[in-house]
Chain A
Amino acid sequence: MTESKNVFVGIDLGTSRSSISTSDGEHHMVESFVGWPLDMVARKVLKQKVLVGRDALENRTMLDLHRPLERGLLKEGSDKDQQAVRELVSYLMEVSGVSQARKGGAKVRSVIGVPAEALRVNRQHLREAMRGFVDHLIIVSEPFAVAYGLDALLHALVVDIGAGTSDFCVMQGRYPTDEDQRTLPNAGDWIDDQILKILEETNPDLKASIHTARAWKEEFGFVGHSKKVVEVTTPISGKPTEIDITAALKQACEALVPPVAETMLDLITSIEPEFQERVRNNVILAGGIAPMSGLAQALEKAMAPYGGGNVQVAEDPIFQGADGGLALAMDAPRSDWEKLPA
């Protein structure tokens, strides 16, 4: 009797990007957009029943576009969003060859990260959405998966700033409880919003989409000093106009620092005094926003009055969640997997 092959999978379903890492060494990412053609014409033009990722975003005018994981959670009560999550997962399973392996009889054992604040119902919805794609499923808090993947399990603070939320998780050698975790709504999307708001104040006729603001932030966003001047061309009153967005960008990006720093310090002061210094010196900045110029330094500066600290930027913001999930999946005992059907 030969045992069927197991494929281990770590999945990070993010508000803006979702990724998968598998025990077969596959790594794939897709932007978390799913769109269905709005009408017959659109369907004929696009030649597809459903579009996923960047394709969906670029053809959004012809699509009923969904970003099913608003604030990292599967939106509740919407069949379309449930369906959209399944499309995302289906895409990831296909490109990584997991679906094929499963058809060939392999058992798929997956770990998925969700935001720290995800409730029981959120998790149950996710479990349902995963049915049919995986055989066994463990759902963990996303910053925990990141911490596990980086081996930052003791006296460490993981700050995961993504699109929808900033998730904080202090690791003290135990599975994080509610007290060890915080979630803030101030993250990438919020910065995008701020950029538009600030620009619209000075240029009421400015027409830029949230997607444009996001692209500006990703390319030019910064915190602190910068000698560079950021000038972009964007329609104002219908006319392409060159504007200087340096100050707006700076203001919007820096607005993130106070709430994040405050939450960090709040979490740090809640742990035993003798370990606080070690945690301050072991802050790990993760998520898509983490590499933003000047952010880590600004957070270090915010800790200075409290004895100082060290903020490290985790490498590879795209796969750190999925890789952590994969590490968990591969370490989980076989006997436990059997008890955790999808």
Chain B
Amino acid sequence: MSFKTVPAPERPTEAPNLSVPVKRKRATHTPPKKVDRRFRKKLLQGAIDENLDLLADRPLGSTTKDRERQRRRIRRWLFGSAMAGLVLIGTSIVLTMRPTLATGEAVPNSGSFRLISSPAYQIDVNDPDPALPSLEGAILIAEAIPLTIRTVVIDPGHGGRDGGTSLNFGLLEKDLTLDIGIRLARRLEEAGLSPILTRSQDVEISLPERVAVANIERADLFISIHINWLPDRSARGVETYYLGPSDDPFLNRLAASENRASGFTLADTRRLLEVIYADVRREESRRLARSVQDSLFEVLRTENPDIVSRGVMSAPFAVLVATEMPAILAEVACLSNDREARLLAIPAYRQKIADALAEGVFRFATQKERNSLARTSHRVSSRDHKDGAQRGFLTDEATSRTQRHVAGDES
């Protein structure tokens, strides 16, 4: 019976500087066990939690228990309430729809979805797969890319007493953002990512709570979904923000109104901003914003030819300030514009928006992956080797997850 040796991770320096000579055993190299990155993360988290318990003088396991409780709650939201949420939105939209507001204008009927000119805007919540060409491409990309991005926090704007913008056709921003958020979550889940919704129901959540979800879950990305309202009623289109200062008074006003429910004081926001402006995160956020904005524009243009890309902008939104990962806020449509408002009433269009957001995430992830591959290819270290192994593992897993989903074997 022969025994092998486990190679120690490579070290950059050659001979260690020792006060006594070191005898080394000759080794036959076996590659290290391929371990899912999630295991590493979970184990590391256990060690950190134990230390936090000790520092806070709490019984061991307290921090982990808190964290698990939080995770269970979020899982319940995600899986248990997704449908309930949809029904809720559907009902509320149907209930709040006011046929008299119909302008009678026809939405351009490009492609396969219905022209809406009927006064009653029925939203069919039982139509999970709208008669729109689905974005197969997006899913394929996700399968093909090794996933450097895994946990994505989706933050449907507003909720509860805070309705957000409303106006045309009785549509409320809070209902639309939730619907799009749930659709996006499903899309990301299909692609093997772990989406987490900050809310899955019509509830009021403070901005610090939204931020906390993202930070506690150590999300890789944070995407806040909003619907714009612009003073110029003819203005339409999409715009995406990342955190940054703004000298545009309108943007500052907009940020102020989105921050209203924040619980952050203006001083808090300023202080946090100063800390974060210099952060590398900002550059990543900008790239994510760019990717999502381009995708929104490209994808939605097929259904909404007059759509305008209002661009990527930076503004001091509170949710973007306090999150610890690349974070963006997407204004996915303009509720102040009649045409867009009516498009928003169509499930298929909301699905398109979700698909476009997902596509933006996939593109960002692919680009990130490519960059990191380019970086690591000319650096030799054992860590890269491990990462490579993990990438393979995750990709397999993502694929099998998708297949499971397709087979309808959902837990």
Question: Could you tell me which A residues sit within 8 Å of B by CB distance?
Answer: 1-3, 21, 25-31, 53-54, 95, 120, 123-124, 137-140, 144, 148-154, 156, 173-176, 282, 284, 291, 296-297, 300-301, 310-316, 318-320, 323, 327-328, 331-336, 339-341
> Which residues from chain A contact B51 at a C-beta distance below 8 Å?
137-139, 340
The A interface, classified by DSSP as helix, strand, loop or mixed, is mixed
- A257 → chain B closest CB, angstroms: 15
Q: Contacts A123-B54, A174-B42, A175-B43: A312 and B16 contacting too (C-beta < 8 A)?
A: no
Within 8 A of A (CB), among B1-24: 1, 3-9, 11-13, 16-20, 22-24
Task: Evaluate contact between B16 and A27: CB separation under 8 angstroms.
Answer: yes
Measured between alpha carbons, how far is A229 from B170 in the docked complex, in Å? 95
Whether the Cβ atoms of A148 and B8 lie closer than 8 Å is no
State which of A2, A53, A123, A301 has its C-beta within 8 Å of the C-beta of B19.
A53
**Chain B 310-346 residues near chain A, CB threshold 8 A:** 324
Residues of A within 8 A of B13 (CB): 25-27
A284 near B6 (CB under 8 angstroms)?
Answer: yes
Which residues of A sit under 8 angstroms from B52, Cβ to Cβ? 336, 339-340
Query: For residue B19, which residues in chain A have a CB less than 8 angstroms away from its CB?
Result: 28-31, 53-54
> Smallest CB–CB gap between B389 and chain A, Å?
9
Residues of A within 8 A of B4 (CB): 310, 312-313
User: Could you tell me the distance between the alpha carbons of A291 and B46 in the complex, rounded to whole angstroms?
Assistant: 31
Name B33's closest neighbour in chain A (CB-CB): A151
A311 to B43, CA, bound (A): 23
Please give the distance in Å from A317's CB to the nearest CB on chain B. 8
CB distance from A139 to the nearest CB of B (A): 6
| B39 pairs with A29, CB closer than 8 A | no
User: By the criterion CB–CB under 8 Å, are B6 and A173 in contact?
Assistant: no
A137: nearest chain-B partner, CB-CB: B51
B278 touches A1 (CB 8 A): yes
Q: Report the bound CA distance from A298 to B330 in whole Å.
A: 64
Is B42 within 8 A of A175, CB to CB?
yes
- Could you say which residues of chain A place their CB within 8 Å of the CB of B22? 29, 318
* Other-chain residue from A144, A297, A336 in contact with B3 (beta carbon distance below 8 A): A297
CB contact under 8 A between A140 and B47, given known A25-B12, A319-B16 = yes
The answer for the CA separation of A124 and B40 in the assembled complex, in Å, is 26
Shortest distance from the beta carbon of A294 to any chain B beta carbon, whole Å: 10
Chain B nearest CB: distance from A275 CB in Å?
14
- A156 and B43 in contact (CB under 8 A), knowing A25-B11, A28-B17, A340-B55? no
* CB of B391 within 8 Å of the partner chain: no
Chain B: CB-nearest residue to A136 = B51
Instruction: Decide: B33 and A152 in contact? CB cutoff 8 A.
Output: yes
- Which residues of chain A have C-beta atoms less than 8 A from B20's C-beta? 29, 31, 54
Q: A31-B19, A297-B3 are in contact. Are A323 and B8 (CB under 8 A)?
A: yes
Find residues 254-294 in chain B having any chain A CB closer than 8 Å to their own CB: 274, 277-278
Q: Is B95 among interface residues, defined by CB-CB distance under 8 A? A: no
- A174 contacts which chain B residues (CB < 8 A)? 42-43, 46
Q: Give the complex CA separation of A138 and B33 in angstroms.
A: 25
Which B residues lie within 8 Å of A173 (CB)?
Answer: 39, 42-43
Docked Cα-Cα span, A246 to B370, in Å, equals: 60
A314 and B5 in contact, given A154-B33, A332-B44 (Cβ under 8 angstroms) = yes
- Give CA–CA (A25, B13) in the complex, Å: 6
Contact mask B32-50 → A, CB, 8 Å, 1/0? 1111000111111111111
How close is B397's CB to chain A, nearest CB, in angstroms? 14
A328 in contact with B8 (CB, 8 Å): no
Query: 14 other contacts beyond A175-B49, A315-B27, with CB at 8 A cut-off?
Result: A1-B278, A26-B13, A27-B13, A28-B16, A29-B19, A29-B20, A31-B20, A150-B8, A175-B43, A300-B1, A313-B3, A320-B8, A336-B48, A336-B52
Q: Is the CB of A327 within 8 A of B278?
A: no
Bound complex: CA A124 to CA B42 (Å):
24
CA distance A328 to B44 in the complex (A): 7
Minimum Cβ distance to chain A for residue B109 (Å):
49
How many Å from the CB of A305 to the closest CB on chain B? 14
Would A153 and B35 be within 8 Å (CB), given that A174-B43, A175-B45, A312-B4 are in contact? yes
Complex contact A151–B8 (CB within 8 A) = no
Residue among A25, A296, A331 making CB contact with B44, cutoff 8 Å: A331
A314 touches B6 (CB 8 A): yes
**Are B42 and A315 within 8 A (Cβ)?**
no
Contacts of A313 in B (CB 8 A): 3-6, 25
22 contacts between A and B (CB under 8 A): A21-B11, A26-B17, A29-B22, A139-B54, A151-B33, A154-B33, A156-B33, A173-B43, A174-B46, A175-B42, A175-B45, A175-B50, A291-B23, A296-B3, A297-B3, A301-B1, A310-B3, A310-B4, A315-B6, A331-B41, A335-B324, A340-B51
